[in-house]
Structure 1
Amino acid sequence: MNNASLRPPPLRLSWLIWAMAALFYLMAFFHRVAPAVMTNELMRDFDISAAALGQLSAFYFYSYVAMQIPTGILADTLGPRRLLAAGALIASLGTVLFAAAPGFLWAGLGRLLIGGSVAVAFVGLLKLAANWFAPRLFAAVTGMTLFFGIIGAVSAGPPLRMLINIYSWQSIMLGIAGGTVAIGAMIWLFVRDDPRSKGYANPAAPQQGPGGNTASRNIRKDVAEVFAARNTVLLFFIPAGIVGATLTFTGLWGVPYLATHYRISTADASMLTSALLVAWAVGGPVFGWMSDRLGRRKRLYLIGCSLCLAGWAILFFLPGMPVYALIAILLATGFCSGCMVVSFAFVKESVPLRLAGTVSGVINMGVMAGPMLLQPAVGWVLDKCWQGGMSEGVKIYSLAAYQKGFSLMLAWVAISLVLLFFTQETWCRQQA
C-alpha cells in the first residue's frame, strides 16, 4: 500500500514503541556511570590504582566508540529492532563476565563487551524516532531519549550505593544481566522498525529519497557523504567536550572529589552527582523543545555551552562553597549540559535524511570519545600528583591534583565552544 494512503501512527503508539527500546538505553547509561559509586570496591577487589580504575571504566567507551559508525550503518540497513535485541543479549553476557571476573583483565573484557553491545542503543532509538515521529518532533524526542537514559544513570547512583551496602556488587550485576535479557526479548517481540508494518504511514518516508531502502546502498560512499558536510566534522568534536566533562565527573571522579574536599559521605556525594544527572536529563528535552520552537540550532547551543563552561570553572576553582551554592551550581551546570542533544537534530538536518542512522552513529562516536579519553586522562593526572595519602586502602588526592586533572575537562569544553562558532545554522530544516 502507498505510504500516502496511510494515516500516521497514533502518537501514543509511537511513544510506546520508543519506550520499550529506551529501556535498553536506560541500561546502557546504568553501566556507563556505575563505577562511580563502586570506586572503593573495584580498587580494593582488583588491587588497582586511580589510573587503572580510569582504564577499567574506559574499556566501556573504547568498544562503544568503535561500534558507532558500524552501528549507524547497520541501523540504516538491518533496522533497529534486530540491532537492539541482539545488543541486549550480548550486553547481558558481558555483565555476567564483569561480575564473575577473577581479576582486572577479565573485568576489562566484560566492560569491553558491555560497551560494544549497548553502543547500538542510542543510534537505534534515533532511527526509530526518525521512522515513528514527525520530523518537527525529532529534537524533542532526542531530548526525551537522553532523559530516559539518565534515569538509568541516576539508578546507578544512590540506589546502587544502597544496594552495595547490603549485597555484593557482583550479585547486583548478575541481577542486571537478567533484566537486560528480558528487555531484549520484549524488543524482539513488540518493537517494529517501520510504522508501515503495523498499517500506518512512515512520517519520514516522503523525505527519504532514493536509496532509503538500503539493499543497494554503497556504504563507503554513504560515510564519505556524511563526512563531506562541515557540520558533521564540527559536531563530531563539540558534544564530546560537554558529555566528556559530565560523565568524567558524574561517572567516576565526582564522588571521591566531593567526599574528600567537601567532607561529605560517599552516599551524599553520589546524591549530588545524581542531582547533576537529573538536571542534565531535564535540560535535554528543554533544549530540544526550545530549539524546535525557535527554529534555530546554533544560537541556543552557544548559550548552553557557554553557561556549561562557566559552571564547571566555578565548581573546580572556587572550592569551599556553602552546600546550597554547590548544589545550585551542580544543577545549573547539569541543566546547561543538556544543550548537547541539539547536536543530533542539527547534524541530521545537514545530510540527506536517508543517512540519519549513519550520521547519528558518527556523532555519537564523537560524543563518547569525550569520556573515553578524559576518564583515564584525569586518573593519570591524579596518580602523577598523588602525595602518598591513603584511607582504608584507597588513595586520597589533594585539591590541587583534582584541579589539574579537571582542567583537561575544562579545556575540551572551551574548544567545543570555539568550534560552535564555525557551524552552519540549519534553521531546523532539512538542508540536503
Structure 2
Amino acid sequence: MNAGQRGYPPAAVAWSVWGLGALLYLVGFYQRVAPAVMTDQLMIDFSIGATELGNLSAFYFYSYVAMQIPTGILADRWGPRRLLSAGAFVAAIGSALFASAPDLWWANGGRLLIGASVAVAFVSMLKLASHWFAAQQFALASGLALVFGVVGGVIAGVPLRMLIEAWGWRSVMGVSAALTALLAIAIWLRVRDDPADWAYESHAQAAHGSGQHGSILRGMAEVLSYRNTWILLITPIGIAGSVLTFAGLWGVPFLRQVHGLDTRTAAAITSLLLIAWAVGGPLLGTLSQRMGRRRPLYVWTTAAALAGWLVVIYAPLPMWLLIVTLLFTGLVSGNLIIGFAFAKESVPARLTGTASGICNMGPLLGGMLLQPAVGWLLDDNWLGATEGGARIYDATAYQTGFSLMAGCLVVSLCLIPFAKETYARQTP
C-alpha cells in the first residue's frame, strides 16, 4: 500500500459511488418504456398515428445503438465520472425538450438526446465496478444493474400512468428532467473514477494503455470475421426486440383496445413481463453454465418464446392465462444472457469487450426496428376508429403488426443452430 492510502474503500462508499451510476441506468430504462403508458396522449397532442408514434419511441434506440461502440472509448478516455455527469445532464435537456415539444420534430429530437445520453450508463457502471469492487463482487454488481433497469421499467408502468392521469404527461416529463439534472450534479459531486482519488486502494488491474485505441477498427473487423458474432448479433433482434416492442410501446394499447383493460391494469401486466424477463436472464445464464453448453438451451428457449408470442397474438385466451403466458414468454426471453456469454466466448479473450459491445446492439436493434414497423402495420390495417382523437386498432390489426415479432423469432430460431458451440469455455 502506498503512503497515505487507507486500504480498500468501505462497502458503503463503494456502493454509493456505483449506485449513482446505476441510477442513470434506471433513468434510461424508465425513458425507454415510458411512451407505452402515454400512447393516447402522444397521438392526440401531436396528431399522429401508430407509424409516427412508433418512430417517436424508436428515436431513443437510434441514438442509443449508435453510441454503443464510442461509449467504451469515451469511458476509457474521459472516465466514468465525466461521462456519467455529461450523460445525465444531456438526458435532462432531452427530457425537458420532449416535455415542452411544440410538435413532433422537437419531440423526436428530445428522444434522440435521451437515447444518446443514457447509453453511457451501462459501460460506465461496469468500469466503476472494476475499480471500486473486488473481482468476486463484479458479477453481483452486473446483476444488480439489471435490477435497477427493471425498477426503472416498473416505475414507467402503473406509477407513471397514475402521475400522468393526475398532472399530464408534459408536467411529469418536466419533473423527470429536473430530477435527472439533480442526478447529474450528485454524480459530479460524489462519483470518482477510482478509489485512489479518495486515497483508497483500487481494485482495478493495470490500466489499459492508450495505444489500444488505435486498433479499435482492426479489432471490430476481426470480431466480425467470426460467424458466431453475426449470428449472435442478429438473434436477439427477434427475442429481446419482441419484449421491448410489446412492453415498451404496443402492449398497453393492445391490452386496452383488444382485451378491454384499463390503462393501469395493462401497464401492470407489461411491468410483470419485464420483471419475468429480468428473472429469466440470470436463471437461464446459470443453467447454461452448469450444462456446459450454450446452443441447446438457447434453441429451446427461443422456440418457447416463439410459441408464447404465437399464443398471445392469435389464441383467444382468458385473461389469467394470457398473463401466465406473458410471464412465461418473458422468462424464457431472458435467454439473451446466454447470447451475451456465447458471444464473449466465441472470440479470443483480447476481443471480448469489442464482441460484447457489438452483440449488445442486437436487442436494441430489435426495439429500433420493430417498434416503428409494428406501428406502420397497425396504421395500414386501421379501420378509421378513434377515441378522443387517438386511433383505435382492432384485433386483426394487432395480429398483423405483432406477426413481425413472430417472424423475427423464426429467423432467430433458424440461425442459432448454425452457431459454433463454445462449451461455456473462452476461445483461446
TM-score, normalised on structure 2? Answer: 0.90
Query: 1:214 — aligned with what?
Result: 210
**What amino acid sits opposite 1:420 in the alignment?**
I
Query: 1:314 — aligned with what?
Result: 311
Q: CA deviation at 1:271?
A: 1.2
In the alignment, the residues of structure 2 paired with residue 141 and residue 299 of structure 1 have an alpha-carbon distance, to the nearest angstrom, of: 28
Query: 1:346 — aligned with what?
Result: 342
In the alignment, the residues of structure 1 paired with residue 76 and residue 172 of structure 2 have an alpha-carbon distance, to the nearest angstrom, of: 35
- Cα pair distance change 1:81/1:293, threshold 3 Å: farther
1:394 paired to 2:390: yes
Q: CA deviation at 1:80?
A: 3.2
Query: 1:383 — aligned with what?
Result: 379
Q: CA deviation at 1:412?
A: 1.1
Query: 1:332 — aligned with what?
Result: 328
Judge conservation of contact 2:29–2:152 (CA < 8 Å) in 1: yes
Please, which runs of 5 or more residues in structure 1 have no aligned partner? none
Query: 2:400 — aligned with what?
Result: 404
Aligned pairs, number: 422
Q: CA deviation at 1:130?
A: 5.2
Query: 1:372 — aligned with what?
Result: 368
In the alignment, the residues of structure 1 paired with residue 224 and residue 279 of structure 2 have an alpha-carbon distance, to the nearest angstrom, of: 31
Q: Which moved more, 1:182-191 or 1:412-421?
A: 182-191
Q: CA deviation at 1:332?
A: 0.9
- Cα pair distance change 1:60/1:358, threshold 3 Å: same
Instruction: Show the 5 A alignment for 1:93-172.
Output: 93-129=93-129, 141-172=141-172
RMSD of equivalent CA atoms: 2.7
Task: Find 1:416's aligned residue among 396, 409, 412.
Answer: 412
In the alignment, the residues of structure 1 paired with residue 117 and residue 100 of structure 2 have an alpha-carbon distance, to the nearest angstrom, of: 18
- Cα pair distance change 1:280/1:403, threshold 3 Å: same
Question: SS of the residue aligned with 2:334?
Answer: helix
Deviations 1:298-357 (A, max 9, x none): 3333333222111111100102x1121111111111111111123333323334555554
Instruction: Show the 5 A alignment for 1:210-289.
Output: 212-218=208-214, 219-289=216-286
- Cα pair distance change 1:373/1:356, threshold 3 Å: same
In the alignment, the residues of structure 2 paired with residue 98 and residue 201 of structure 1 have an alpha-carbon distance, to the nearest angstrom, of: 40
**What amino acid sits opposite 1:389 in the alignment?**
A
Question: SS of the residue aligned with 1:386?
Answer: coil
Q: CA deviation at 1:82?
A: 2.7
**What amino acid sits opposite 1:228 in the alignment?**
S
TM-score, normalised on structure 1? Answer: 0.89
In the alignment, the residues of structure 1 paired with residue 324 and residue 264 of structure 2 have an alpha-carbon distance, to the nearest angstrom, of: 19
Deviations 1:371-398 (A, max 9, x none): 1110110010011111112222221112
Query: 1:323 — aligned with what?
Result: 319
In the alignment, the residues of structure 1 paired with residue 348 and residue 185 of structure 2 have an alpha-carbon distance, to the nearest angstrom, of: 33
In the alignment, the residues of structure 2 paired with residue 351 and residue 109 of structure 1 have an alpha-carbon distance, to the nearest angstrom, of: 37
Please, which runs of 5 or more residues in structure 2 have no aligned partner? none
In the alignment, the residues of structure 1 paired with residue 425 and residue 249 of structure 2 have an alpha-carbon distance, to the nearest angstrom, of: 38
In the alignment, the residues of structure 1 paired with residue 293 and residue 75 of structure 2 have an alpha-carbon distance, to the nearest angstrom, of: 27
Q: CA deviation at 1:232?
A: 2.3
Judge conservation of contact 2:126–2:142 (CA < 8 Å) in 1: yes
Question: SS of the residue aligned with 1:217?
Answer: helix
Judge conservation of contact 2:345–2:422 (CA < 8 Å) in 1: yes
- Cα pair distance change 1:382/1:177, threshold 3 Å: same
- Cα pair distance change 1:216/1:394, threshold 3 Å: closer
- Cα pair distance change 1:240/1:132, threshold 3 Å: farther
